[in-house]
Amino acid sequence: MLKQAKIAVMVSGGGTNLQALIDAEANGIIRSGKISLVLSNKSTAYALERAARAGIKTEVVEKRMCSGNAEFEDRIMEVLDREGIDLIVLAGFMCILSERFTAKYAERIINVHPSLIPSFCGEGFYGLHVHEAALAYGVKVSGATVHFVNEIPDGGKIIMQKAVEVKEGDTPETLQRRIMEEAEWKILPLATEAVCQSIVRGESV
Ligand code: GAR
């Protein structure tokens, strides 16, 4: 039986969610898994520095260096398989994965999304755009969702959600920050531990 699931975190940017995962492992919130790899599709992602500082192996696979999406995904899969990864955590990874990819790792990929799915999600809803759309609609509550990743963008089974109040005068930036602090950085580590536990025990979530 597995003692700890090997986790790969896939990133594209600043990596504050990655940092929350690193901190959660350090303080024992994540104990059924170990972050073994951080993979970025951008060589300039600050998340890579966070990983290096924590002594975690990093890999960069850039789409512009590949002949197309199929090769891009093949290269990522090669790395994940070489490292024997059990769980892939998308933490601000800004590419949509094809069905070929998601089917290979069914129930082994999770993603954090900065809204309460099914609101403000799917293709085109990423990063600040999500909060712009929420403010434009005028919702009074938003939040974050951690879900399994399947072939439908943001359409996989929901694992955890947390609501966050939208305040008068919020900008996309202030709302993004509050949702990160109050929701994403909390539920992503908790959901990661829950999925790792189920992998280690051989159960489904
Ligand atoms: C986070 O808010 C994450 O939920 C969002 O991008 C940000 C990445 O921040 N992801 C998506 O929008 C995916 N659809 P980080 O790099 O500081 O973790």
Can you tell me the mean pLDDT for 69-82? 98
Architecture of domain 5-201: 3-Layer(aba) Sandwich (3.40)
SS3 140: coil
**Model confidence at 70, in pLDDT bands (50, 70, 90)?**
very high
- Ramachandran class of 74: left when φ > 0, alpha when ψ lies in -120 to 50, beta otherwise: alpha
Atom 1 of ligand 1: nearest residue by CA position: 92
Q: 17 near 92, Cβ under 8 Å? A: yes
Q: What is the pLDDT of residues 137-187, one digit of tens each?
A: 999 999 999 999 999 999 999 999 999 999 999 999 999 999 999 999 999
Contact between 155 and 109 under an 8 Å Cβ cutoff? The reply is no
pLDDT at 205: 67
Smallest CA separation from ligand 1 atom 10, residue: 92
- Among 79, 18, 13, 76, which residue's Cα sits nearest to residue 42? 13
**Domain extents for the chain?**
5-201
Distance 125 CA to ligand 1 centre (A): 10
Instruction: For the chain, list the strands marked E by DSSP.
Output: 5-11, 33-40, 58-60, 87-90, 109-113, 141-148, 158-165
Atom of ligand 1 nearest to the CA of 17: 18
pLDDT recorded at residue 2? 78
